[in-house]
Structure 1
Amino acid sequence: MDRPVDSAPIALAAAPDAAAAYADWLRRLGAERRLSPRTVEAYGRDVRILLGFLQGHLGEPASVAEIVALKPRDVRAFLASRRSEDISSRSLMRALAAARSFARHLARSGLGEVSAFSAVRSPKIARSLPKPIAAAAAKRLVDAEERAGEERAPWVLARDAAVLALLYGCGLRISEALSLTRREAPTAGVDRVEVTGKGDKRRQLPVIAAVQRAVADYLALCPWRLAPEGPLFVGAKGGPLNPRIVQAAVARMRGGLALPDTATPHALRHSFATHLLSRGGDLRTIQELLGHASLSTTQIYTEVDGARLMAIHQAFHPRARA
């Protein structure tokens, strides 16, 4: 079955004026700030959770005036409530960022200054290194033949393999791969692809022959007629492919390949960068390929490679355990 299960929607618990402000804020996020649909959805969900908490905290749906009058202790109570649900510090930080964005919207709209959210510190996030997949395992993940025994249509297996090949072979984010149109398909004779990354930054990437073949194999098997300006990758019913489908495909493969839970589609992007660096790729080039705005973001991969070399040294050097 080629369909993910969506999480249950969260009802909006707010007084009429706050509900109207919330709707206007969401519209502005997408139209004016040009945030991705996924980010707008996540921010909207976080603020709906906040408003639901305030309904219980205040004893009634929160109005704009009551939101403006919030104190830091109210915000800390909200964060403590979310923490009790065992959400990560990263998710907690995003929830606070969403609340601050909503508060700024209220201020810009002339509805009142909300100082409580800015008075509370964001939770600290432990800095973690990317967890790349070993080169041999990454190659198997992007090989459709590895899943030939699955009870899924051959074109679906080829489609998933083509998407994963783009992630590992070009360092794309999954959203970037799924945003490609049929006209942009990197098949034989097309040795580069152009994508729009974060911040609407456009970049061109070289496409190796193995990736071209994977995309061509998918197109040869795909039963749907793909419009030139329509999505390159489609789901079982011919509509745009949901990224959760690709995530589920990788999750199914982890068991057979004895890979950890950290082996995800995004880990293939990490693997792309780490494997290039370990084979002599320079940091500036990798920064351009990944679409990082700052070199400092890319430099984390030098730590990954250094950690790998240290682990090899500790495991195999004759004097490591002396």
Structure 2
Amino acid sequence: MAQAKTLTATELRRVLDYIATRPHAARNRAMLLVTHYAGLRVGETASLRYKDVLDEAGQVRSEIRLDAEQTKGRYGRVVFVAEKLRKELQRYVATTPEQGPAAKLFQTQKRGADGFTANTLAQHFHHLYKGAGIDGASSHSGRRSFITNLAAKGVPVRVLMSLSGHRSLSSVQVYIDVHDDMKRKAVELI
């Protein structure tokens, strides 16, 4: 199976522009940016609850603690939230009706549902990327783009491993897409 496409900044902008024209734009933008700016897996994104993301004052936390049940490998971890993602999530929360702390952060339109499941969110991302005309992108594209972009900026692979919740270096290394700009910058270090 082919790896999910990593997105360039221009392609991400194209998806965000497409999302802006669709229903539930604030929710869809926030969900997509959680994968691109924090590297969360689709299942981790779908599992987020208000209490995970918001503090007692209703502000987006600078660190999200994922319980073992929320992660693929069943190992809890801390997700560090960049300031630009905190602002995005705060804008999203301001547009949603008041929810209890245990409610899912990202709700579907389906009545009675407890928000997205990993599968429904993966399908939703597929349709968003397809609608924006981004071939080869999937629910894993945000995560791969997050890791690749940080690697291109010189973030050490052990830090990438920790940020992504991988438990081995070889696991995180397959996420890093090497592109010509990275190689150009590398040879200029000589």
Q: Contact 2:42–2:139 (CA<8 Å) still a contact in 1?
A: yes
Partner of 2:38: 170
* Identity rate, percent: 24
Q: Which residue among 174, 183, 188 is the counterpart of 1:300?
A: 174
Counterpart residue type for residue 144 of structure 2: H
Change (3 A) 1:286 1:301: same
Counterpart residue type for residue 47 of structure 2: S
Shift of 1:181: 1.5
Query: For structure 1, which runs of at least 5 residues remain unmatched after alignment?
Result: 1-89, 91-127, 314-322
Q: CA RMSD in A?
A: 2.7
Q: Which residue among 21, 31, 37 is the counterpart of 1:149?
A: 21
- 1:235 and 2:108 are equivalent in the alignment: yes
How is 1:1-322 mapped onto 2 (pairs within 5 angstroms)?
A: 131-141=5-15, 143=16, 146-150=18-22, 152=23, 156-186=24-54, 188=59, 190-195=61-66, 196=68, 197-223=71-97, 225-236=98-109, 237=111, 239-255=114-130, 257-260=132-135, 262-302=136-176, 304-305=177-178, 308-309=179-180
Q: 2: CA distance between counterparts of 1:159 and 1:130? A: 22
SS of residue paired to 1:227? coil
Q: Contact 1:165–1:211 (CA<8 Å) still a contact in 2?
A: yes
Q: Contact 2:4–2:140 (CA<8 Å) still a contact in 1?
A: no
Q: 1: CA distance between counterparts of 2:106 and 2:61? A: 17
Q: Contact 1:188–1:213 (CA<8 Å) still a contact in 2?
A: no
**Deviations 1:247-297 (Å, cap 9, x if unpaired)?**
34433443554311x211211100000010011111000000111111111
Partner of 1:29: none
User: Which stretches of structure 1, 4 residues or longer, exceed 4 Å deviation after superposition?
Assistant: 186-189, 310-313
Counterpart residue type for residue 173 of structure 1: R
Structure 2 length normalisation: TM-score? 0.78
**Deviations 1:169-222 (Å, cap 9, x if unpaired)?**
110001111212111125745211111423321111211122222222222222
Name the larger-Rg structure.
1
Change (3 A) 1:200 1:211: same
Query: Using CA pairs below 8 Å that are at least 6 residues apart, which structure has the higher relative contact order?
Result: 2
Higher helix proportion (structure 1 or 2): 1
Shift of 1:147: 2.6
SS of residue paired to 2:78? strand
Partner of 1:318: none
Counterpart residue type for residue 147 of structure 1: I
Q: Contact 2:18–2:132 (CA<8 Å) still a contact in 1?
A: no
Q: Contact 2:6–2:141 (CA<8 Å) still a contact in 1?
A: yes
